[in-house]
Structure 1
């Protein structure tokens, strides 16, 4: 009996020790995960900072350089660094709505430089007005670079933890903006609002395109409660634990569309993670959605991810979309889809879909361009036959594929072209011949590597 009296307390004591050890292991594992996630965000931040610094430095070099060849090289580097910085910024745990102008600045800096490259290739040097725009871009890039450098110093001193920044999602927006990250980048937003000239150029992010009245929204106006339900349904109602409105009626960063912007805390997920989503006030359309979760184990192939993206678009009601290029980075694949009307590819009506390579989840969606541009067009008929258009292409260009495409020009106008894909001296190119006049409108170089397909 004496042994039995000691048996139960002994078992309970052993169980307590086991639970204590298990709890410590779980606590330690959680801390390791937080450290790993914080390190990942720091890496993204450093990459973004380096790219912004390169944009700023190369802009200053362009303003000094006189050589056409050197200017083309520098403008190409600015274009690449600005796009990379924007992509890194979109993955940072910072309030999306607070950074709309910063994202637009990086996108426009990239596209403006790309348009100047095209002008140079057409024999048109930089004008005084364009140089003034470059000065303004360089000034803003310099200011942004300084703000990021100050943030970098705080990170090095241990005064900024990105996990703490992420936890702002369950707080009020005013309190969220008090954190160091948002405060500094919001400061840049305020400056750029008052010191940013309109950029006139031929590019998908030009102000001329952004200011076009959207055509693909429909007519009904939705209130905030209806918009919440639309957002929850898009993500999956069962996945939503909490939905919080950021703002109402503000124009989305990627399109001239008034929208409601929400933060969604997913069910059965850490409170530190949030999904961002924007719903148009007119028509109740999803403009964009971003789920910046980390992707650890990459199990899927690009073809698997493409099937997930196709099924997603079909399910959401986007018919007739075909993939055109892709980019693989940080455990995800970003696909660009263009709308196809009968046998004509319409590049202005494009949608971007980002797929996680661990489980095929859609972690990014951007239909801004589609909602701006999509409508039932009365497509023109080609005046030239395919054979006549072929005669306008360089003789030793090895053509592999031909199709009709409607491409944007000068921001607003669209022109029907024959699109010739093929090889020239070992490299892949796309040549666009105007289907009405026979003019050689555009040439794109296709870059293929292990990370995807890009056209420049």
Structure 2
């Protein structure tokens, strides 16, 4: 063997080891971030359901339209946020129809009551029966989530071990833990189905069991990367590496795509989820440090509106907005006539240091 070949092999082995180490670090960073996101979504879900239970109890004693309006506006906000948190959990293989219907119906009912109370109307007698049924459902769900929260904490179960087999495998699921939370949610579903189902006028927000409105042909992993690159047009993605990480086989089969910067800094990775059918982007997230605010909330909203325009959204109105650590989060809702279609809401996060779009969520 030539003498020069030994150093070359040594260098090759070292480079291979470094590459493997960087891959492992990137994967660990993604896994940690995903676990934190799932935990936050679950804690916030529990918080909002607890809030709904307390407010429904309070609704039983209010006696003026002004008080009623305030209470049911707050119930609407909690039910809307709870829906968003529920969809953020890795439970794509679990039938959550009863839970989703409960949240959707409560949001629809509370919106109608808040509108009527704003006109000076009091609750009708039949509405009190609906409030009673919702209160019973909320109390049950709140208690179950509180117990589940304690169970997850005491058992040190990871959320990344839940969900579809493909998702769990992508995160290196720990054998023996997978499915524990899933089983708890199945029991919650069974319990909710045994409770009275509120029936009321104006219920137009029932959850669809099967997703609709997703058009196009099935795409492969390579096409998913191309779709992600198209969605991220306008960003400097020079030398970024695009990977597809997992394919979920839940209600909406999806691809997970990550764009990794040349320096392989996990803090600047851009992640997207696209539907397998048609390659529609459900959400996008770029996590980076945001500096001090240099643009106003109004300018942030304008940046989000311009972004939606480039994605061919029309008739989108601002439903709510908030500012947290120099990041503006704006929720847009499509409007047709005087009707706001809240189930089709889109969330946008804007960095207030430069107006960049950090996150997009159209997952429902």
Band the TM-score falls in, shorter-chain normalisation: 0.5 to 0.7
Alignment match, 2:255: 264
Contact 2:144–2:188 (Cα < 8 Å) also in 1: yes
Q: 1:61 and 2:61 equivalent?
A: no
Structure 2 segments unaligned to the other structure (5+ residues): 170-174, 230-242, 261-265
Alignment match, 2:157: 160
Contact 1:297–1:357 (Cα < 8 Å) also in 2: no
- Matches of 2:286 and 2:137 in 1, distance apart? 30
Q: Residues 92 and 277 of structure 1: is their aligned pair in 2 closer, same or farther, counting only changes over 3 Å? A: same
- Matches of 2:20 and 2:69 in 1, distance apart? 59
Which one of 131, 134, 139 corresponds to residue 134 of structure 1?
131
- Matches of 1:292 and 1:184 in 2, distance apart? 29
Secondary structure of the equivalent of 1:197?
coil
Secondary structure of the equivalent of 2:200?
coil
Q: Residues 305 and 107 of structure 1: is their aligned pair in 2 closer, same or farther, counting only changes over 3 Å? A: same
C-alpha displacement of 1:121: 4.5
Q: Residues 237 and 290 of structure 1: is their aligned pair in 2 closer, same or farther, counting only changes over 3 Å? A: closer
Alignment match, 2:273: 275
Superposition RMSD on alpha carbons, in Å? Answer: 4.8
Q: Residues 75 and 356 of structure 1: is their aligned pair in 2 closer, same or farther, counting only changes over 3 Å? A: closer
Q: Residues 67 and 349 of structure 1: is their aligned pair in 2 closer, same or farther, counting only changes over 3 Å? A: closer
Q: Which has the larger radius of gyration?
A: 1
C-alpha displacement of 1:55: 0.9
Which one of 76, 79, 98 corresponds to residue 79 of structure 1?
76
Contact 1:92–1:292 (Cα < 8 Å) also in 2: no
Q: 1:47 and 2:38 equivalent?
A: no
Secondary structure of the equivalent of 1:228?
coil
- Matches of 2:223 and 2:339 in 1, distance apart? 28
User: How many equivalent pairs are there?
Assistant: 313
Alignment TM-score, normalising by the size of structure 2: 0.64
Contact 2:275–2:281 (Cα < 8 Å) also in 1: yes
Alignment match, 1:321: 315
Q: Residues 329 and 116 of structure 1: is their aligned pair in 2 closer, same or farther, counting only changes over 3 Å? A: same
C-alpha displacement of 1:137: 1.0
C-alpha displacement of 1:292: 6.8
C-alpha displacement of 1:91: 2.3
- Matches of 1:236 and 1:198 in 2, distance apart? 46
C-alpha displacement of 1:161: 0.8
Q: Residues 364 and 114 of structure 1: is their aligned pair in 2 closer, same or farther, counting only changes over 3 Å? A: same
Structure 1 segments unaligned to the other structure (5+ residues): 248-260, 340-344, 369-456
Q: Residues 137 and 289 of structure 1: is their aligned pair in 2 closer, same or farther, counting only changes over 3 Å? A: farther
Alignment TM-score, normalising by the size of structure 1: 0.53
Q: Residues 84 and 42 of structure 1: is their aligned pair in 2 closer, same or farther, counting only changes over 3 Å? A: same
- Matches of 2:37 and 2:168 in 1, distance apart? 23
Q: How do 1:97-136 and structure 2 match up within 5 A?
A: 98-136=95-133
Contact 2:318–2:330 (Cα < 8 Å) also in 1: no
- Matches of 2:139 and 2:226 in 1, distance apart? 42
Q: Residues 45 and 131 of structure 1: is their aligned pair in 2 closer, same or farther, counting only changes over 3 Å? A: same
Q: Residues 329 and 110 of structure 1: is their aligned pair in 2 closer, same or farther, counting only changes over 3 Å? A: farther
Contact 1:78–1:110 (Cα < 8 Å) also in 2: yes
Alignment match, 1:31: 28
Q: For 1:149-171, what per-residue CA distance to the aligned partner results, in whole angstroms no more than 9, with x for missing partners? A: 22211332243212222563457
Q: Residues 346 and 109 of structure 1: is their aligned pair in 2 closer, same or farther, counting only changes over 3 Å? A: closer
- Matches of 2:225 and 2:18 in 1, distance apart? 38
Q: Which has the larger displacement, 134-143 or 103-112?
A: 103-112
Secondary structure of the equivalent of 1:42?
helix
- Matches of 1:127 and 1:76 in 2, distance apart? 17
Q: Residues 233 and 360 of structure 1: is their aligned pair in 2 closer, same or farther, counting only changes over 3 Å? A: farther
Contact 1:353–1:362 (Cα < 8 Å) also in 2: no
- Matches of 1:357 and 1:18 in 2, distance apart? 38
Flag the structure with more relative contact order, 1 or 2, with Cα contacts below 8 A and sequence separation at least 6. Answer: 2
- Matches of 1:278 and 1:21 in 2, distance apart? 33
